[in-house]
Structure 1
Amino acid sequence: MLTAPRMHSLCNTAVIKILPGFALALLVSAAAFAAEGLELRLTGERYVENLVLAIVIGTAVRTLIPLWEGLEKGIAFSAKRVMEAAIVLLGASISLQALEAAGGALIAGIMGLVAVAILASYAVGRVFGLNRNLAMLVACGNSICGNSAVAAVAPVIKAESDDVAAAIAFTAVLGVAVVLALPLALHTFSMTGSQYGVLSGLTVYAVPQVLAAAQPGGLIAMQTGTLVKLIRVLMLGPVLLTLAASRGRDGETTVRLSQVLPWFIVGFAAMMGLRSAGLIPEHLAVPLGDISNVMTVIAMAALGLTVDIRSVLHAGGRVILTASLSIILLVATSLGLIALLHIA
């Protein structure tokens, strides 16, 4: 039986083992924020987000510099536990009241589109030879919310670091491409602000990117796009639950509660419920979202520190082809949904 002093000593030892790797992840994430700030200062835009910069810098460090073995525990802690905590805090930035303003038909349409897009993207990935985990990461990244979805899905399906890095790298590149190319649809199809907002919310990865993509359509497009995007993000919870349950059936004889309902998903739902009930004040939502973003960047820096770029490059062509075709399918399906719902 462990005594209190013995437990205290073990905790201190664990913390000491984690600190070096965690400190390195902090250093890489700080470099990512600095690089994003420099990019914004020089160009006036965030073409490459801090999440992507963190994993790129981390991967470069891992590839170019032999890392001390004592860093591994802290890097692993940062990539897993810090990411899970970030997902919990993300729930505080989403309110269920937003669903009421959207209407049942649009909400059902978004749910259906996400499901169809994931299945179609996964099928495309498998056709092009991607392994199951990588195909699912790319599918969820394209269909829900880009890097955040990839990062959230990875621990549930127990994806390898190389697969996570590849999915994030290529979905990030395509995310920027979609933001730049999407305004062509506004003029090509003579879309209204509401129509273009729905299209932006359904196809662009991150909320800031939705605002950038929707801006040419005016204020209505920006407001509609943000709302649709938030509803799309809410689909992450059901998708994670479905993947956890499916993995249990495929690979194990029993399904533990922690697999079907990981603690960070419960925490995400709880925070969202507290926000919806007004127990998390509006003025705290933004700071909590900012903290979640910082923690996600730290986790992505740690993820990059586990990846040697030479082991990722072999999957590049297939991943970029899968992600590109998935985006095309997503845009086509979104246009079909807009027509089906007679959005004016």
Structure 2
Amino acid sequence: MRIWQYIQSVLPGFLLCVLITILAYGAEWLEVQLTGHCFMDALVFSIILGTAVHSILGMNPMFRKGVNFSAKYLLELAIVLLGASVSLTIIQTLGPLLLLVVIIIVALAITASYTIGRLLGLPEKQAMLVACGNSICGNSAIVAIAPVIDADSEDIASAIAFSATLGIIVVLALPAFANSFAIDPHRFGIFAGMTVYAVPQVLAATAPVSTISVHFGTLVKLMRVLMLGPVILILGVRAGRKAEIEAEKSTGKSLRLNQLVPWFIIGFFLMIALQSLGAIPEVAMPPIKNATTLLTILSMAGLGLMVDVKSVFASSGRVLATGTLSILFLGALGASAIALLSL
């Protein structure tokens, strides 16, 4: 009986998230039909639409529980499934030198981007979201990192909105840059893989140049995605340690392991292990990826419904400045590594 009551309390908000998700997919489809390109995907549209609904119509209490459920639990489940798309076998393809270069660049980029954000006045968690999104894989990293550091919905929404904007600019600018300076396709692919946010965006940026650029860009980009696992683990343990200190101060008791490391982080790494060992059948991968995308968009709809647009634009200038300076720094790191190491 309690389960049915819980379902009834969650259902209105969940169905509202479903409606916004359908509209987001519709907006993406219309965008492709009108422009021939997908500049903003359904994930970004779902946040924008959710935020618009909250800002214009407000949030009726009857929807709140389902919206919270979608924003929290569906997101955590999506993160677990996301691990299935990360395989450690990519390391064998790229080789140890390029792997080391990517690790160093990601570490330096996160540190620099976080520092820039803090110097520009961003809150700690928002600065970390922007840093990880810029340095690893854009929206996917922001979505995955957010529950680990317990980020506010407003911080997540603004980080995703402005990383999406910068991502579009980078994708449009890179092919023109490569053609203007006659950059070697192999090197351009590596550079694009080191700087562009998402795998589909790497394809969009490198396809106009060369198939060689597409190949190397995708491989390097996937290597950056691999860094998501270690970063999630480090931030999760760091957040858990902070919680443990607070618990010891207030209660005198230490937290258990499952309280120090959230369940979805354990699930994320378990899925990586299964994928790397070949335990996930190839035929299961498309449904898993589709489920991951759908759950993520549903959770972003819920997140958007928790956001008032005023709070997003309050820090928009600082977020955009942080992202711009960070992507320039990342590009400089990538270009320097390619030139110095003759990659």
TM-score under structure 2 length normalisation: 0.94
Q: Deviations over 1:33-77 (max 9, x none)?
A: 001001111111101111110000000000011221021111111
Comparing 195-204 and 246-255, the one that deviates more: 246-255
Gaps of 5+ in 2: 246-253
Distance 1:255 1:338 in 2: 45
Q: Point out the more displaced range, 251-260 or 203-212.
A: 251-260
Q: Give the drift of 1:251.
A: 5.3
Structure 2 residue 98 is the aligned partner of structure 1 residue 142: no
Offset, 1:150 = 0.8
Is 1:245–1:255's contact at 8 Å kept on the other side of the alignment? no
User: Which residue number corresponds to residue 18 of structure 2?
Assistant: 26
- Mean Cα deviation higher: 206-215 or 241-250: 241-250
The question of whether the paired residues in 1 share the 8 Å contact of 2:149 and 2:239 is answered with yes
Single out whichever of 16-25 and 186-195 deviates more from structure 2.
186-195
Question: Residue type of the partner of 1:85?
Answer: L
Residues 251-304 of structure 1: per-residue CA shift (max 9 Å, x gap): 541565335532222222222222222221223212211211111111111110
| 2:37 aligned with 1:83 | no
Q: Could you tell me which amino acid in structure 2 is paired with residue 285 of structure 1?
A: M
Q: Residue 147 of structure 2 corresponds to which residue in structure 1? A: 155
Tell me the residue number matched to 2:111: 119
CA shift for structure 1 position 87: 1.4
Task: State the 1:140 CA deviation.
Answer: 0.6
Q: 1:169 aligns with which of 148, 152, 161?
A: 161
Hey, what does 1:63 align to over in structure 2? 55
Pick closer, same or farther for the CA change 1:255–1:179 going to 2, 3 Å. farther
From 189, 196, 216, give the equivalent of 2:208: 216
**Map of 1:3 onto structure 2:** none
> In 2, Cα distance between the equivalents of 1:339 and 1:262?
41
User: Which letter maps to 1:219?
Assistant: T
Aligned residue in 2 for 1:273? 273
TM-score between the two structures when normalised by the length of structure 1: 0.93
Residues 84-136 of structure 1 show CA distances to partners (whole Å, capped at 9, x for unaligned) of 11111122223222221000111111111111000000000011111101111
Name the aligned partner's letter for residue 84 of structure 2. Answer: A
Which residue does 2:217 correspond to in 1?
Answer: 225
Q: Which residue of 2 aligns with 1:200?
A: 192
Tell me the SS of whatever aligns to 2:284. helix
CA distance in 1, matches of 2:52, 2:10: 21
Change in 2 beyond 3 A, CA 1:76/1:232: same
2:95 to 76, 84, 103: 103
- State the AA in 1 paired with 2:60: W
- Range with greater deviation from structure 2 (270-279 or 150-159): 270-279
Partner of 1:92: 84
> Could you list the per-position Cα deviations for residues 147-200 of structure 1 after superposition, in whole angstroms to 9, with x for gaps in the alignment?
111111111111111111111111110011110111233235432222111111
Q: How does 1:6-21 map to 2 (within 5 A)?
A: 9-21=1-13
2:38 aligns with: 46
Name the CA distance, whole Å, in 2 between partners of 1:113 and 1:181.
Answer: 21
Classify 1:14/1:197 alpha carbon distance in 2 versus 1 (closer, same or farther; 3 Å): same
2:337 alignment counterpart: 337
Cα distance in 2 for residues equivalent to 1:166 and 1:55: 10
CA distance in 2, matches of 1:188, 1:325: 23
Aligned to 1:159, what secondary structure does the other structure show?
coil
Letter paired with 1:45: H
How far apart, CA to CA, are the structure 2 residues paired with 1:311 and 1:160?
Answer: 11
Is the contact between residue 109 and residue 135 of structure 2 (CA under 8 Å) also seen in structure 1?
yes
| Residue among 155, 165, 177 paired with 1:185 | 177
Gaps of 5+ in 1: 1-8
Q: In 1, Cα distance between the equivalents of 2:38 and 2:332?
A: 27
Cα distance in structure 1, aligned partners of 2:175 and 2:241 = 43
Paired residue secondary structure (1:217): coil
Residue 137 of structure 1: CA displacement?
Answer: 0.7
- The size of the alignment, in residue pairs, is 335
Which has the larger displacement, 80-89 or 49-58?
80-89
Distance 1:46 1:152, change over 3 A: same
| Overall identity of the aligned pairs, in % | 49
Map 1:244-283 onto structure 2 (within 5 A). 244-250=236-242, 252-253=244-245, 254=254, 256-258=256-258, 260-283=260-283
The residue correspondences of 1:301-316 to structure 2 (distance < 5 A) are: 301-316=301-316
Residue aligned with 1:141, SS: helix
2:260 and 2:144 map into 1 onto residues whose CA distance is 14
